[in-house]
Structure 1
Amino acid sequence: MRKYVFISLILFLTACSTSSKKGGTSNVSQDQNDISSESLIEDSSAEKSGKTSEKNKIQATQRDNLKSEKNTSDPSNLYSQLNTFIKQQNEVAILDEGSKILMKKPNDTKALNAMAMVYYKRAQYGLAKDLLYKAIKFQPTYEVYSNLGIVYLATKEQTEALQSFKKAIELNPDDNVSATNAGSIYIKEHDYDKAVVALEIPYKKGIRDYRILNNYAVALTAQGKYEQAESVYKEALKQSSNSRELLLNYSILLIDQLKRYQDGLDIIQKLKFIGLPDGARSKVQELEYIARKERK
């Protein structure tokens, strides 16, 4: 297999759940139902209601704090405000409410995890790590390990990130977030067998984000499972028909592996119309040359 392919490093965040339900709402695709119900950082496409000003957020926090004071004696209400602020992505309120919870429960994993992800978003990675380390010390959960892996990626500690994702999967074999991110790393390391195992987790759960599908198809191609890889590429293109990386990788499969030269040329023509990925011009020219030569 030619190694010139485009992969997607996909970062999803998870938040500790206070519910026994395992479902949730995806950050990226409406077809994803199991990534995270309380993601603190979402793609801009998920912000359908517009951004709230910092002043309004603070005012809303003050009003909610008055209400929360009445509920602090009831353990079942301990996280009600924090959950609300997580859904609102209100960083100021998350830090404030998390601090209040830690005053009552200094080792509370939910609060530590939520606050850590705010610091991650602010690129304060040291603070994020410290909080996640503390959470792991007292109550290691797969959500915390998953988010620690993402922080490690931000600080370019890929080995540590992969270990964190693997630990998360050990604790929860159905953890789509960690499996997705681990799969991306395995592909970067050209460990395609492990990548397939990891990426099968979100795929079998019905998650159809085109970036995950792209990585899965790349790994399947490396294993020689060409027909299965083509099927996955077709699924991905239904989600993002104009993805330049998808189109290029699919054309490589069609021309280099499946020897379907005209089909590959058709994809390349579409790719040239949309615009080539950065650095892909020489590869596209090579594919065109091979396809036109062999087609005769």
Structure 2
Amino acid sequence: MEQIKQQIDEIKEELEETPQNAALLNELGIGYHMLGEYDKAVQAYQKSLSQNSQDVRTHFNLANTFFELQQIDAAVNHYLDALDIQPDYVPALNNLADIYELAEEPDRARELFEYITKIRPDEAMGYFNLGNHHLRHNNTVEAGRCYKKAIELNPDFYEAYNNIGYMLKHLAQYEKAISYFEQCLTIEPSYQPAKKDLQECRQALQQS
């Protein structure tokens, strides 16, 4: 926390020399956001955008801060502004999809998650996030397909192994679930969700 405050002071000193520096104003906004001083972050980002309205990251950062302030319409507008400038900007696509899901608009959310896998077909995270979307909506077949694709692209994606295990556990397919939890823990031995579910699956087998 003190380090962040020191960085903010240093940025302010630099801004005294170049008060219209958009990049520095963006960095100032990031600092305030990290401190939880969201109103000050908004002011810094807005000043930055007044100097450079086409900066994707500043629109994205401002949207994130508006989200923390629960000003959802403003957040959506700036995610959309970022995407107008760079339509394949995945962080904005992901966060916008999350907002649509929170707003109980699952079809719009799914369209964005699917779009990410189309523009980034070689990135495992897109399939993992799409899988999570399907899992939240109890579409386990599609969720499993997405998690397996994530593993195909990144064999060390331990969360994907865990989530397949989680689904198998709830289908009472304990032996298969154990296999996936064990693979997860081979990659990340300290992953607590897998440890807990692995133990529960072993207990369920013993009692059956």
Q: TM-score scaled to structure 2, two decimals?
A: 0.71
Structure 1 residue 145 and structure 2 residue 93: aligned? yes
The question of 1:82 aligning with 2:82 is answered: no
1:185-222, Cα deviation, whole Å (9 max, x unpaired): 2123343342233223543422324xx43322245679
1:145 positional shift: 0.6
Residue 58 of structure 1 deviates from its aligned partner by: 6.8
Deviation of 1:126 after TM superposition, in Å, equals 1.9
Are 1:240 and 2:192 an aligned pair?
yes
Partner AA of 2:192 in structure 1: S
Any idea what the Cα deviations from partners look like across 1:97-140, whole Å, max 9, x if unmatched?
A: 32122112224221111111122233322221121122223322
Residue 175 and residue 99 in structure 1: after superposition, are their counterparts in 2 closer, same or farther (change >3 A)? farther
Distance change in 2, residues 1:173/1:157 (3 Å): same
Conserved? CA contact 1:214–1:246, under 8 Å: no
Of 158, 161, 184 in structure 2, the residue corresponding to residue 213 of structure 1 is 161
Q: Quote how far apart the aligned CAs of 1:180 are.
A: 2.6
Greater alpha carbon shift after TM alignment, 159-168 vs 93-102: 93-102
Are the equivalent residues in 1 in contact too, given 2:25–2:47 (CA < 8 A)? no
Would the aligned equivalents of 1:165 and 1:178 in 2 still touch at CA under 8 Å? Answer: yes
Shift of residue 83, structure 1, vs aligned partner: 5.1
Query: What is the CA distance between 1:146 and its match in structure 2?
Result: 0.8
- 2:105 is aligned, of 157, 169, 188, to 157
1:121-270 counterparts in 2 under 5 A? 121-140=68-87, 141-203=89-151, 204-205=153-154, 206-209=156-159, 212-218=160-166, 229-237=177-185, 238=189, 239-240=191-192, 244-245=196-197, 247-248=199-200, 250-251=201-202, 264-265=205-206
| Cα distance between partner residues in 2 of 1:202 and 1:126 | 32
Aligned length, in residue pairs: 197
Say which structure, 1 or 2, has more relative contact order (CA 8 Å, 6+ apart): 1
Render the CA deviation track for 1:46-73: whole Å, top value 9, x for unaligned. xxxxxx38xx967853541331455688
Q: Which amino acid aligns with 1:82?
A: N
Equivalent residue, structure 1, for 2:45:
98
For normalisation by structure 1, the TM-score amounts to 0.53
**Contact 2:25–2:48 at 8 Å: present in 1 too?**
no
Unaligned 5+ residue runs, structure 1?
Answer: 1-51, 256-263, 266-287, 292-296
Q: Distance in 2 between matches of 1:145 and 1:241?
A: 28
Long gaps (5+) in structure 2? none
Determine helix, strand or coil for the equivalent of 2:96.
helix
CA distance in 2, matches of 1:176, 1:70: 44
| C-alpha contact (below 8 Å) 1:174/1:201 kept by paired residues | no
- Equivalent pair of 1:149/1:164 in contact (CA under 8 Å): yes
Q: 1:14: which partner in 2?
A: none
Matched residues, percent identical? 17
- Structure 2 counterpart of 1:166, which letter? E
Q: Aligned in 2, Cα 1:66/1:128: closer, same or farther, shift over 3 Å? A: same
